[in-house]
Amino acid sequence: MTVHLVVPSGFAERPSGGNVYDRRVQAGLLGAGWEIATHEVPDAPSLAAVLRALPDGVLVLVDGLVGSRDAELLLAEAGRLSLLLLVHMPFETPREAELLRAAAAVVTTSDWTRRWLLAQYHLDRHRLHVAVPGADIGDPVSGTAGGGELLCLATVIRPKGQDVLLAALAELRDLEWRCTLVGALDLDPDFVTELRTTAADTGIAERVRFAGALRHRDVRAAYAAADALVLPSQHETYGMVVTEALAHGVPVIASSVGGIPEALGHGDDGSRPGWLVPPDDPAALGQALRRWLEDPRRRQRLRRSAALRRLTLPTWSHTTARVASALEAAR
């Protein structure tokens, strides 16, 4: 069976969570025997040319970034093609709602997103499918005795909350810790400059490392060296880095927003492998980090919970199977 995969330009190189998801689904479907025709579309004319060339009735899986950008073009073809929209995050536009209603099926990457679409757009729930990101289970980490190796893995832009993290850390100068910020530094240079200035002005610059974007093996090494992942995002529809950290047995301290609680989940014993704090609240984040750094028994409990959660995480095979099920239902 053939499916046409329509993705943003550069999806094979850019290290975003959405691109990683698309690449893993592409590889998984190929491995499961599907024929995949992948179309990278940098702009509306490119998408229009791709759509015109497709015969009637074929399966077309469209990344939601393309769908939100070029909804008009896709709406014009929805009657003759079997369109499936892959929604990483909702963009809350009228055309998006219309396109999702016209699609043969919709795949969301979290149950939080599915619930949001149902509540806001009143879609047919039977056409919505959830395929959460998988995780590559790594070797469990043991962590350091003091728990002070903190990792924040996110593109360095304001919505990811690194300013909140540095404000929280500035109040913890009496404790031993180091924080590594992993993520692209070129999307908002002014914000990066602001962060560096904050670190210098508050006396924590020597303890904060801006590592930039890393290759896959270096990301795995960063998890292996971490005691805790800190994710102070303003919003996340899932939070793939949460499950990536848990796949290495690394506990998580993160904002209680969007799909992050879903990604954090629970171990088999019902325990949380991390703590959730309000977004945009340096004081609350600082209190959580202080508890983590000062209480070895709490650290040990969270490490045990993370080790249990590691064993229950979905795999990419599970993700692929869910996407394949949606494709088959839309034929």
Tell me the three state secondary structure of residue 121.
Answer: helix
Q: Considering the domain boundaries, does residue 142 fall inside one?
A: no
Q: Considering the domain boundaries, does residue 141 fall inside one?
A: no
pTM of the model: 0.92
Residues 281 and 293 in one domain: yes
Helices (H), the chain: 17-31, 44-53, 64-69, 71-77, 94-102, 111-121, 162-170, 189-201, 216-225, 240-246, 260-264, 282-294, 296-310, 316-330
HSE toward the beta carbon, residue 106, CA cutoff 13 A: 31
d(CA 296, CA 9): 47
Number of domains in the chain: 2
Question: The CATH number of the domain where 36 resides is what?
Answer: 3.40.50.2000
Mean pLDDT of successive 10-residue stretches along the chain, which has 331 residues: 92 76 96 96 95 96 93 94 95 89 96 96 94 93 94 98 99 98 97 98 98 92 97 96 97 98 93 97 99 97 96 96 95 81
Residue 89's pLDDT is 92
Q: Considering the domain boundaries, does residue 143 fall inside one?
A: no
Residue 49's pLDDT is 96
Residue 17's pLDDT is 78
State the residue range of the domain holding 256.
149-310
**Sheet arrangement for strand 128-130:** 35-41, 2-8, 59-63, 82-87, 105-108, 128-130
Residue 19's pLDDT is 84
Q: Considering the domain boundaries, does residue 140 fall inside one?
A: no
The angle formed by the CA atoms of residues 261, 112 and 234, to the nearest 5 degrees, is 60
Tell me the three state secondary structure of residue 135.
Answer: coil
Residue 14's pLDDT is 72
Q: Considering the domain boundaries, does residue 139 fall inside one?
A: no
